[in-house]
Chain A
């Protein structure tokens, strides 16, 4: 080791958690120009965004919808993470073919874990002809999550 170790960049020494290769080295980034897309994947995947798929009608009282974790740049994140999912108390929530229910399966307040691909299939049941709002939020052991997007699940005929 010399006193210069770590001071200079050598080819192949930049670790994957540094900025994206498009970001110039050495302090030449103009103010206000860095976007989420310029972050390296290892950093992006620490900032997760909850996204929703299309609602699927199973039968008059059952709907399915898939939640997918993405990063700030919109890329799918393949990782299992804990989420809290809640909805109006007229409906019940359960986990379908993707993900795992950790608590509250079959209730309006569900603690879940996405599968290894970052996906969760949600089964919503309701006997009323109403629109059910479903929201996601962080819970114990959740990562940094952007849960601003919710889903409105219609049971109207």
Chain B
């Protein structure tokens, strides 16, 4: 180590320096672009990301809730599993082990905006759920 190294400021860790295994310990929920409304239903994909914002392939348990009046379910033949609450506005899901995604279908028979939000629940890991998706039913 030369003198230049000795006088450098204390290192601050940036996300890019995280190893993938470490970054994969921290999941966050991201949402894709909602599909067009059809038969009073809109589908949208939830995708897990890691701390580097890369797609995270992992099974994660997440509680999904949405605006009252709408109901949620797994899209037909979609990725993921519903553990509880299908057909309601309060659902516990698991993301798909191969893709880390969950294909959500939201039904709402009126006109308005339905917001869907995720959250940690029993059996969750470190999962950030700050991102909300708004679905516009016309």
Whether chains A and B associate is yes
Q: When the two chains form their complex, are residues A147 and B125 in contact, meaning their CB atoms are under 8 A apart?
A: yes
A135 proximity list for chain B (CB < 8 A): 122-123
Where chain A touches its partner, the secondary structure class is: loop
Q: When the two chains form their complex, are residues A150 and B126 in contact, meaning their CB atoms are under 8 A apart?
A: no
A7 proximity list for chain B (CB < 8 A): 9
Verify if A79 is at the interface (C-beta below 8 Å from B): no
> How many of A's residues come within 8 Å of B, CB to CB?
34
A72 proximity list for chain B (CB < 8 A): 22, 25
Chain B residues touching A, range: 20 to 34
Chain B: CB-nearest residue to A29 = B17
Q: When the two chains form their complex, are residues B11 and A147 in contact, meaning their CB atoms are under 8 A apart?
A: no
Chain B: CB-nearest residue to A18 = B10
Q: When the two chains form their complex, are residues B8 and A148 in contact, meaning their CB atoms are under 8 A apart?
A: no
Per-position 1/0 for A7-46, Cβ under 8 A of B: 1110000100011000111111111111110000000000
Mark B residues whose CB is within 8 Å of A: 5-11, 13, 16-22, 25, 60-61, 120-126
Give 13 A-B pairs besides A19-B13, A32-B19, A34-B19 with Cβ atoms closer than 8 angstroms: A8-B6, A18-B10, A23-B11, A26-B9, A31-B16, A32-B17, A34-B22, A36-B21, A36-B25, A47-B126, A72-B22, A137-B122, A148-B123
